[in-house]
Structure 1
């Protein structure tokens, strides 16, 4: 049981609006996201989220009995509201450049969230940033980046033997690192550098030697 959950609902605010199902859950998670980003995980409470959502604490607690579960679901929900779509330009280089420009713009706030806002989460759960990221990505389906890489493999642009797990992850890893260091989306020059100077030299299929 979450120690941050209130012992009773005597002071709960009654619902101001009758909402059910997906509409109610979306409103709760939007409120949880706002509370989390404004107050950080250390100040993230059922009471605060309930007040924002104009509902009662038990409504939240029945769905997410631990506040860390509520926080993760709020992050996941926010990402699903503004997804990164896999571009399909016909070649892996242009796909990756378009992807990085869009993804770094849409995900820069998530990098700040993981590095600072969620600091209390790591102390409470003992998890790492990587483990939190895996929790957030659960049930989200194939990533846009994964779709780009898989298509490039089918087209023969990438060498599966060279595309080790470390090489495969280098593009999103470098993107997150740049965002964490600079606090902004990547520039076109930075994106091109990641693709042309790092990823393609490591993973591109090599031309067959002449016979």
Structure 2
């Protein structure tokens, strides 16, 4: 029997059903039909809101455990802020497990752009905070530099089924990101 709900109540029900289904059967076996059945609605209702299961799962994860963008750190130092974001991303990896993350990453090309740009906004905010504190001038940094820490971490996650070690995060920030930011800023100053 289909239960009549609308708006936020319907969406909450679907997202809870998607989360429960994800935890029960895993990403590989999750289907829109299974989520619809668990939510007691039709699968066409799901497809009106999400184009595919990857978008539904990402929304369900954000609904259940939050988004990295929900708590943007402001520790007083860019290095610590970036490490905090990367730590939150690795905690998410541990919470969800490699099977779900690998499944989502495999379907990333099928996602609408807004699902992939959340971290871009987070990193931009961190850099703007650093600039306001007077740490560095970040105007006109290339987008690839801005998103590099998260991109490198995603790469690590894709290549391994093991939790990412803290020293890997430190290496990404200290050996790659911050030197590249400083070099990009220096080259702009000398132009």
TM-score, with normalisation over the residues of structure 1? 0.67
Q: Normalized per residue, which structure has more helix?
A: 2
Contact preservation (8 Å) 1:36, 1:71: no
The corresponding residue for 2:161 is 183
Gaps of 5+ in 2: 187-191
Contact preservation (8 Å) 1:101, 1:187: no
Contact preservation (8 Å) 2:123, 2:146: no
Secondary structure of the residue that 1:51 maps to in structure 2?
helix
Q: CA deviation at 1:21?
A: 3.3
The corresponding residue for 1:4 is none
- Residues 93, 74 of structure 1: alpha-carbon distance in 2 compared, 3 angstrom cutoff: same
Query: Residue 102 of structure 1: which of 88, 95, 106 is its match?
Result: 88
Provide the aligned C-alpha RMSD in A. 3.4
User: How many residues in Structure 1 have an aligned counterpart in Structure 2?
Assistant: 180
Gaps of 5+ in 1: 1-12, 123-128, 207-211
The corresponding residue for 2:189 is none
Paired with 1:173 and 1:141, the residues of 2 have a C-alpha distance of 9
TM-score, with normalisation over the residues of structure 2? 0.72
Q: Which has the larger radius of gyration?
A: 1
- Residues 171, 112 of structure 1: alpha-carbon distance in 2 compared, 3 angstrom cutoff: farther
Q: Deviations over 1:19-72 (max 9, x none)?
A: 5532321121222344456264676132x223212x132xx4245348734641
The corresponding residue for 2:51 is 68
Q: CA deviation at 1:172?
A: 0.4
Q: Does 1:56 align with 2:41?
A: yes
Contact preservation (8 Å) 1:86, 1:99: yes
The corresponding residue for 1:14 is 2
